[in-house]
A = this chain, B = another copy of it.
Amino acid sequence: MKHGIATVSLSGMLREKLQAAAAAHFDGVEIFENDLLQYPGTPREVRRLCEDLGLAIDMFQPFRDFDGNSAAQVKRNLERAARKFDVMEELGTSLILVCSNVQPDALSDPALLAEQFAQLAELAGQRGMRVAYEALAWGSKVKLWSQAWDVVQRVKHPSLGLALDSFHTLSLRDDPGGIAQLPGDKIFFVQLADAPWVNTDVLTHSRHYRCFPGQGEFDVTGFTKAALDAGYTGPLSLEIFNDEFRSAPARSNAVDAKRSLLWLEEQIRLARTPATPSYKVALFDPPPPPAFSGWGFVEFAADPAAAVRLGAWLASVGFARIGQHKSKKVDLYGQGEVRIVLNLEEDSVARAHFEMHGTSACAMAIATTDTAAAFARAEALLCPRVAGRLGQGELSIPAVRAPDGSLLYFCDAPEGGRHRFESDFVMDTTALASVAASTTIDHVVQAVPGGQVEPWVLFYRAILGLSAQRNIVLHDPYGVIRSREIESADRAMRVSVTNSDRDNTSVSRAVSRFRGGGVQQIALAVADIVATARHLKSLGAPLLPIAENYYDDLQAKFDIAPELLAAMREHGILYDQEPGGAEFFQLYVVPFDDRFHFEFTQRRGGYAGYGAPNAPFRLAAMALLREREAAAST
């Protein structure tokens, strides 16, 4: 299908918006009027610019408050429309979006509206133009697509059709089903936006919270499928008003936009049934999302000095050095089934990551049964491929670049507790600590800069087929942190993306000090949290101290066996219980360089969450340590 994007969806001035849309291989754009009014050149120059960039101008928008007025005002509005047709002629576009009147005193009689639109359609037809009528969700009288359709149907003019917008229909929880029965050629244009469900009025919802399909919670797939079922063959065009996107870099945002439409096409293809009419347009058909067969490894970039400290820290939290790469300065650490790669290679992607972000996770690998298909899907969904250098006989692990520039590898599923990539290493697994034998990665927490939550959500959803839970709010002593959990259907793969737009929280500190954040926490699932705590203590692990008062409260709130509570108190183990009685135990270590850390978790009875009620205590304990260190160093 053809893909379009409204210029209002991208940040910056018109020229850079157009350049970004072209670079992301969009076929066309909707010119948002304010972008044109700000442009220091004529509409004709904008037309030439678009032609040079290979972009069609699909539509000019919006034309407001045309309908439902007095005859005198409609006459004025027709004059105003004539002026806009002049502009459109220069722009070289023939379609204008007219949105339903929002004035409180607008008239609503469909016969009157039809009469007024007939005049507009006639004027448009004389000029070779077409009018797409859109019901705004907050229109004062016309709010639903079916109301706009009623008017279009009455007018029966070839120059008047419908503009549909997923936001307007879905935000009102209106049923898009009937759209499938419309004559396809009367749907002049389809605009798409997703959004999270937020408790606010529909106008605020629209102006600030729209996002690309796949980033929100609306059924954009069902909406778009209805338009295609009707026979619509025009562009799918994104119209997004979003506070984050208004400041996001236009280039990367345009790539996200394009990815969202590819993903959407696939979803529509998958939603088709034998009863679905055949389409005249082809839908994107990439390999399916990979089956998650566990984590392969998490790779950290370091220089030799940092690596010595990091290696000692890893040893103190239960990791053993179990491998030495055959041809590179790369070490492999293990704990149970978990693998940490320490990359010291000088001329490498890892080193570049280190120079930019300091000691930090530069790559993650997930295991899957068909790595080639996973890689092909990621590439088809616009992830840049990354090729590393290979020694002779060494394994080539396909990798793509994730939204923050780190790498995502697709590696083979482990067999008999052995990963295939271990063949590149001289291995010695005798040091793997027996007590932690069942350790696996429970989840990974990534700290991301403002505006990067949605891109990550779409990345995980589109590339890996994960689904995103709702935003939750956590309280750091120095401000609010927002966290979104992204999981595979079987919850085998869990990632939490956190962001904070406050200055001094643990998340924003990581983001600003290290130019981008990245992996902040790796949670390791263990079978026996108390035994793990004892083992870690014997290794000299820097366990995070939790305040005594916390345990007095646990005692008041829950029935916890006294010996267990005593052990939790002794080791700083946090506790949560879900309504059904499922339990969660959490043990933290003091972060490495105030940057990333491990959590050890034990789930009992199918606990589904991430221990959010304990976040304030864990974050306060970390803040307290930071302050003590700062005080000690002055």
A residues adjacent to B (C-beta < 8 A): 11-13, 33-34, 36-43, 79-80, 83-84, 87, 198-201, 204, 207-208, 243, 246-247, 450, 473, 475-480, 501-505, 545, 547-550, 552-553, 555-557, 616-617, 620-621, 623-624, 627
Contact = CB atoms under 8 A, between A and B. Distances in A.
A83 B549 contact: no
B246 A620 contact: no
A210 to B, nearest CB: 13
Given A36-B549, A204-B199, A246 B502 contact: yes
A241 to B, nearest CB: 9
B616 A34 contact: yes
B11 A479 contact: yes
Contact of A243 (B43, B208, B480, B617): B480
A488 to B, nearest CB: 30
A375 to B, nearest CB: 34
A617 to B, nearest CB: 6
Q: 7 nearest interchain CB pairs? A: A247-B479, A38-B620, A247-B502, A83-B556, A199-B201, A37-B549, A80-B556
Contacts of A556: 79-80, 83-84
A229 to B, nearest CB: 35
A542 to B, nearest CB: 16
Given A38-B616, A199-B201, A247-B504, 18 more contacts: A11-B477, A33-B553, A34-B475, A36-B549, A37-B550, A38-B621, A38-B624, A39-B547, A41-B547, A43-B549, A80-B556, A80-B557, A199-B200, A246-B476, A246-B480, A247-B503, A450-B502, A501-B501
A571 B40 CA distance: 15
Nearest to A36: B549
B553 A624 contact: no
Nearest to A11: B478
A39, A243, A246, A616 interface centre (most CB from chain B within 10 Å) = A246
A173 to B, nearest CB: 16
Contacts of A557: 80
A617 B13 CA distance: 11
Contacts of A616: 34, 38
A124 to B, nearest CB: 16
B87 A552 contact: yes
B246 A13 contact: no
Contacts of A12: 477-478
Nearest to A204: B199
A623 B552 contact: no
A502 B479 CA distance: 17
A543 to B, nearest CB: 14
B617 A38 contact: yes
A613 to B, nearest CB: 10
27 contacts: A13-B624, A33-B553, A34-B475, A34-B616, A34-B617, A37-B549, A37-B553, A38-B477, A38-B550, A38-B616, A38-B617, A39-B549, A40-B548, A41-B547, A42-B548, A42-B549, A43-B549, A83-B555, A87-B552, A199-B201, A199-B204, A243-B479, A246-B476, A246-B480, A246-B502, A247-B479, A247-B502
A632 to B, nearest CB: 15
Contacts of A204: 199
Contacts of A503: 247, 450
A197 to B, nearest CB: 11
A333 B227 CA distance: 65
Contacts of A83: 552, 555-556
Contacts of A548: 40, 42
Contacts of A555: 83
A243 B481 CA distance: 10
Contacts of A36: 549
A475 B246 contact: yes
A616 B549 CA distance: 53
A547 B12 CA distance: 16
Contacts of A208: 480
A575 to B, nearest CB: 13
B620 A473 contact: no
A503 to B, nearest CB: 6
Given A13-B627, A200-B199, A200-B200, A479 B246 contact: yes
Nearest to A242: B480
A325 B377 CA distance: 73
Contacts of A621: 38
